[in-house]
């Protein structure tokens, strides 16, 4: 019997169900016959499909390309096989899903917590910022941008590249920071940590397109990078406050200190990972290290979820990772 949920498909099974289209490429066999290479998905699972010209059903390539578009929901019938250790599917029949037939939320990968609860919790962290000008800037930037911020991905390809990944990553860092602040007491400044972590990646809403199915770097993102973009947002906010009221030199200084923490959250300049200033406070060093922890937990968990117990796989940027048996 045919499998109807893409998450369960295995080689040599038949499939008869819905999928989300992620990528479509037009190709040719060596004999010159055209075919389509279509990547479909459900949640984190990606499957590459072939639509050979004997399966076009009389349609031209141009017609097919109006059906198979990025983000389209389609119903497919086909047979799965194995190619280079991956499941691959040959499509024998296809049609667009009708409106209301399926719920797209069951197909999109998203953060494991609700947008509402995350927003509430981030706002609670912001309320803990006791340095007024940092509180004002962080709060205003969050409220003004939350519409995009709460849904954005955190990366094009790497860790947290899913819907609301940016908010979820930000919240995870705030939680780690809370514990470190609780543990180390006055050695770490809680207000600066919360302000810097809330804002550290906010520039990504401009650095990347606002499309959580297939985000790309924008031109502005490539000109400046997300660190300079968020520093610009902070600076514009500082200018606006100064238009309203007088701002003391101590206040300006702490805002620049905030920009330094954000500027250096990719580590020292010498590693070449894109910090825009050297870290010169404990909070700046911590921000970089906490960012690393959450990123790595996410990258490794994401890979091992599909691995067998006892298996070893390579993860780009991390090397081999072993999935131990459950204990």
* Residue 319 C-beta: closest distance to a second copy, Å: 6
Q: Distance between CA atoms of 316 and 323, rounded to whole angstroms?
A: 16
* Region at 281 (left for phi over 0; alpha for psi -120 to 50; beta for the rest): beta
Q: Distance between CA atoms of 325 and 323, rounded to whole angstroms?
A: 7
Which one of 1-9, 119-127, 157-165, 214-222 is the stretch in contact with a second copy (CB under 8 A)? 214-222
Q: Which of 95, 130, 147, 210 binds a second copy (CB under 8 A)?
A: 130
Q: Which of 52, 110, 121, 140 binds a second copy (CB under 8 A)?
A: 52
Residues 151-210 close enough to bind a second copy by CB under 8 A: 172, 175-176, 179-180, 183-184, 187-189, 191-192
For a second copy, the closer CB: 29 or 66 = 29
For a second copy, the closer CB: 73 or 89 = 89
Residues 54-83 close enough to bind a second copy by CB under 8 A: 81-83
Q: Distance between CA atoms of 52 and 27, rounded to whole angstroms?
A: 10
Q: Check: CB of residue 49 under 8 Å from CB of residue 78.
A: yes
Q: Is 8 helix (H, G, I), strand (E, B) or coil?
A: helix
Tally the C-alpha atoms within 13 A of residue 175's C-alpha that lie toward its C-beta. 10
For a second copy, the closer CB: 56 or 220 = 220
Q: Please choose, from the candidates 147, 142, 188, 141, the residue with its C-alpha nearest in 3D space to the C-alpha of residue 164.
A: 147
Residues 222-281 close enough to bind a second copy by CB under 8 A: 222-225, 227-228, 231-232, 235-236, 239, 250, 253-254, 256-257, 259-260, 263, 268-274, 276-281
Q: Please choose, from the candidates 294, 285, 283, 273, the residue with its C-alpha nearest in 3D space to the C-alpha of residue 111.
A: 294
* Residue 213 C-beta: closest distance to a second copy, Å: 21
Q: Which of 131, 150, 208, 287 binds a second copy (CB under 8 A)?
A: 131
For a second copy, the closer CB: 79 or 102 = 79
Q: Distance between CA atoms of 106 and 80, rounded to whole angstroms?
A: 22
Q: Which of 100, 219, 244, 245 binds a second copy (CB under 8 A)?
A: 219
Number of residues that bind a second copy (CB under 8 A): 84
* Residue 302 C-beta: closest distance to a second copy, Å: 10
Q: Is the dihedral of CA 142, 146, 151, 152 positive or negative?
A: negative
For a second copy, the closer CB: 123 or 285 = 285
What phi, psi does 324 have (nearest 5°)? -75, 160
Q: Which of 1, 31, 100, 316 binds a second copy (CB under 8 A)?
A: 31
Q: Which of 93, 120, 301, 308 binds a second copy (CB under 8 A)?
A: 301
Tell me which H or E stretch contains 89.
strand 86-96
Q: Distance between CA atoms of 184 and 193, rounded to whole angstroms?
A: 13
For a second copy, the closer CB: 20 or 141 = 141
Which one of 1-9, 97-105, 194-202, 310-318 is the stretch in contact with a second copy (CB under 8 A)? 310-318
Contacts of 196 (CB under 8 A, 6+ apart): 258, 261, 262, 265, 283, 284, 287
For a second copy, the closer CB: 161 or 231 = 231
Q: Distance between CA atoms of 184 and 187, rounded to whole angstroms?
A: 6
Q: Which of 7, 28, 106, 210 binds a second copy (CB under 8 A)?
A: 28
């Amino acid at each position: 019997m045919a499998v109807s949920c893409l998450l369960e498909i295995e080689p040599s099974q038949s499939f008869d169900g819905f999928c989300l289209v992620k990528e479509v490429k037009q190709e040719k066999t060596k004999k010159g016959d055209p075919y389509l290479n279509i990547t479909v998905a459900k949640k984190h699972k990606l499957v590459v499909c072939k639509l050979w010209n004997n399966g076009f059903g009389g349609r031209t390539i141009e017609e097919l390309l109006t059906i198979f578009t990025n983000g389209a929901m389609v119903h497919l019938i086909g047979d799965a096989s194995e190619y280079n250790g991956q499941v691959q599917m040959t499509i024998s029949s296809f049609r667009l899903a009708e409106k209301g037939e399926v719920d797209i939320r069951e197909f999109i990968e998203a953060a494991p917590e609700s947008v509402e609860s995350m927003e509430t919790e981030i706002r609670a962290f912001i309320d803990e910022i006791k340095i007024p000008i940092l509180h004002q800037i962080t709060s205003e930037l969050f409220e003004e941008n939350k519409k995009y911020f709460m849904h954005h991905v955190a990366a094009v390809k790497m860790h947290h590249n899913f819907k609301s990944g940016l908010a979820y990553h930000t919240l995870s860092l705030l939680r780690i920071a809370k514990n470190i602040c609780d543990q180390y007491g006055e050695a770490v400044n809680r207000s600066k940590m919360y302000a810097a972590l809330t804002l550290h990646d906010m520039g990504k809403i401009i650095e990347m397109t606002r499309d959580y199915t297939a985000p790309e770097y924008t031109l502005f993102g490539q000109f400046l990078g997300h660190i300079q973009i968020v520093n610009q947002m902070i600076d514009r906010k500082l200018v606006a406050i100064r238009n309203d009221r007088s701002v003391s030199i101590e206040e300006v200084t702490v805002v620049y200190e905030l920009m330094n923490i954000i500027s250096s959250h990719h580590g020292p300049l010498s590693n070449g990972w894109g910090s825009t200033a050297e870290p010169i406070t404990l909070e700046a060093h911590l921000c970089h290290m906490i960012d690393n922890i959450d990123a790595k937990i996410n990258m490794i968990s994401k890979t091992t979820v599909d691995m067998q117990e006892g298996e070893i796989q390579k993860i780009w940027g991390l090397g081999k990772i072993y999935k131990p048996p459950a204990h």
